[in-house]
Amino acid sequence: MPTPSRRERLRTATVAEIKDGARRLLVTGGVEAVSLRAIARDMGMTAPAIYRYFPSLEALVAALAGDLYDELRLRLEAARDDAGAEPVDQLLAMGRAFRSWSVAHPAEFGLMFGVRAPGLDAFVDDCVHPDHPGARFGAVFVQPIFDLWHRAPFPTPPAELLQERLGGRLEPLRLSHGEVPIEVAYALLSGWTRLYGLVAMEVFGQLAWAVTEAEALFELELAAFTAQLRADPPAAS
């Protein structure tokens, strides 16, 4: 690609400035504080000008969410790469990185993993596009679990049971990552939902009724899960 024209450069700079403003508002006031008028005010512009760059507020927020998925994914990839070659260590590091980023960025987490606006972008999300930022984020977990399974299979429910219950329902996963052993798919989903549940409850303040310092609980659960992953599968009995 040749050097982008001057117009192009200005345009991408403005897009970035708009997104920066949106994120600043998101961080300080939650998603409901993100408004075109406030962004434009911060930029010394008027609100309708933003429509030259995004077709609606909602589209802007969706683009911001996509960026955040990429940011979080890069963070997890860095943690994985720093964790050595042992898949379990990589998963541990990724789990901790996921929690620490999420706790440090609760507003962003809420936007990415909280409730979706009713039916608006759901059909955009579950679209199987493998290049969708959310899908690319989920994909980060696949490789380590797959490697671990190759190296040292871990115990799971019996493969026949998994096949019967889950077999026909993994098309979306298969569309992004060819054929994955069903045990790997199960471990991926099981582990991801546990990680998500714990972190989401902490970030959303839903654990305060029971426990202070949710990090202790997080480390306990992480230890329990990795112990499960390190265990030998039961001998065929």
Residues in the site for DNA, rule: CB under 7 A?
A: 5-7, 10-11, 14, 34-38, 40-41, 44-49, 51-53, 56-58
- Give buried/exposed letters for 125-137 (b at 16+ CB in 10 A, else e): eeeeeeebbbbbb
Gyration radius of the chain's alpha carbons: 21
Decide: 117 and 58 in contact? Cβ < 8 Å: yes
Among the residue ranges 5-13, 39-47, 65-73, 172-180, the one whose residues contact a copy of itself (CB under 8 A): 172-180
> What whole-number distance in Å separates Cα of residue 57 and Cα of residue 22?
10
Question: Judged by CB under 8 A, does residue 134 bind a copy of itself?
Answer: yes
What does the block give as tokens for 36?
Answer: 């075109």
Question: Judged by CB under 8 A, does residue 206 bind a copy of itself?
Answer: yes
Decide: 135 and 176 in contact? Cβ < 8 Å: yes
Quick one: what does residue 51 bind among DNA, a copy of itself, none, with the CB cut-off 5 to 8 Å set by partner type? DNA
Q: What number of other Cβ atoms are within 10 A of residue 86's Cβ?
A: 14
End-to-end CA distance of the chain: 61
Question: Judged by CB under 8 A, does residue 201 bind a copy of itself?
Answer: yes
Using CA atoms, how far residue 140 sits from 79, 91, 133, in Å, is 11, 10, 11
Q: Which is nearer to a copy of itself, 10 or 175 (CB)?
A: 175
Quick one: what does residue 74 bind among DNA, a copy of itself, none, with the CB cut-off 5 to 8 Å set by partner type? none
> Applying CB under 8 A, which of residues 115, 178, 236, 237 lies at the interface with a copy of itself?
115
> Applying CB under 8 A, which of residues 10, 74, 128, 231 lies at the interface with a copy of itself?
128
**DSSP H or E run through 212:** none
What does the block give as tokens for 25?
Answer: 């508002």
CB of 79 to a copy of itself, least distance (A): 21
**Which positions lie near a copy of itself, rule CB under 8 A?**
29-33, 106-107, 109-110, 113-118, 122, 125-126, 128, 132, 134-135, 138, 157, 161-162, 165-166, 169-173, 176, 185-186, 188-190, 192-198, 200-201, 203-213, 216-217, 219-221, 223-224
